Amino acid sequence: MSSSDSNPPKLNRIVVLISGGGSNLQALIDSTLSTPPALPNSHIAHVISNRSKAYGLTRCSLSSPPIPTSILNLKTYLSQPSSTPRTRETYDIELASLVLSTSPDLIILAGFMHILSPTFLALLHPQPDSPKIPIINLHPALPGAFDGANAIPRALDAFEKGEVKGTGVMVHRVVEEVDGGEPILVREVEIVKGEKLETLEERIHKVEHEIIVEGARRVLKEMGRI
């Protein structure tokens, strides 16, 4: 047996941050386990949630093998007694340290409903010339169209007012500006006149589940990791 056979390639460690149902996380889990894997030579090494009740955590325990998880909730963190003052900024420092402790090769925000501060990003990307652990985010809108929360209902409302012709979904690099990073993948989604929000959301989520995997694959390929 050649030495390479006895040393299988190191799996890419994908660390996912969530806050909710985790349907995008599930798409990523499935993409590493499918035959052939849409995300080869990779695994979801750890999932971090800022909400203890996120169903995405249950998805991790149901996964085979189960995926390690951590919870760091801002309100709980701020309410815990501490010898030093606890602020949103120290929370982000704690979050950055937790993320780094999982040794990620790629960090994916999949429905993570917490705005990461410059402090967090500076800790993740300490030196301008050091190799940066890529951080990518999924956002259910076109670049610059509906940054921030409630992007889908805002797009539908704008469509009904004749302000936009459609909407979309993107995977982008995470930078200080919320949802402002360089897009990696953008997919337009048409809005059907008179359609209900639920129908549009359903179609958008379907596209999300596709492009979050494709976006991750592109970044890993760019890194030469697949």
Strand partners, 18: 49
Which tokens hold the place of 32? Answer: 């590493």
- Closer Cβ to ligand GRF, 34 or 58, answer by number: 58
Q: Which residue has the tokens 């995926």?
A: 67
> Is the CB of residue 28 less than 8 Å from the CB of residue 212?
yes
CB of 5 to ligand GRF, least distance (A): 38
Q: Does 116 bind ligand GRF (CB under 6 A)?
A: no
When CB distances to ligand GRF are compared, the closest residue is 111
The one segment of 72-80, 97-105, 135-143, 159-167 that binds ligand GRF by CB under 6 A: 135-143
Q: Is 209 a catalytic residue?
A: no
Q: Does 67 bind ligand GRF (CB under 6 A)?
A: no
Which residue from 12, 24, 49, 63 is in contact with ligand GRF, where contact means CB under 6 A? Answer: 24
Q: Does 23 bind ligand GRF (CB under 6 A)?
A: yes
Closest CA to 92 of 112, 72, 71: 72
Which residue from 92, 105, 179, 208 is in contact with ligand GRF, where contact means CB under 6 A? Answer: 208
Q: Does 168 bind ligand GRF (CB under 6 A)?
A: no
Q: Does 21 bind ligand GRF (CB under 6 A)?
A: yes
Q: Does 105 bind ligand GRF (CB under 6 A)?
A: no
Whole-angstrom CA distances from 187 to 155, 176, 183, 184 are 15, 23, 11, 10
The one segment of 5-13, 14-22, 116-124, 159-167 that binds ligand GRF by CB under 6 A: 14-22
Q: Does 20 bind ligand GRF (CB under 6 A)?
A: yes
Catalytic residue among 139, 172, 205, 209: 139
The CA distance from 205 to 198, in Å, is 10
The CA distance from 14 to 1, in Å, is 30
Q: Does 111 bind ligand GRF (CB under 6 A)?
A: yes
> Is the CB of residue 16 less than 8 Å from the CB of residue 108?
yes
CB of 164 to ligand GRF, least distance (A): 18
Question: Listing from the earlier edge strand, what are the strands of the sheet with 42-49?
Answer: 69-71, 42-49, 12-18, 106-109, 135-139, 166-173, 183-190
> Is the CB of residue 192 less than 8 Å from the CB of residue 166?
no
| Residues taking part in catalysis | 139
Residues at the site binding ligand GRF, with contacts judged by CB under 6 A: 18, 20-25, 56, 110-111, 138-140, 205, 208
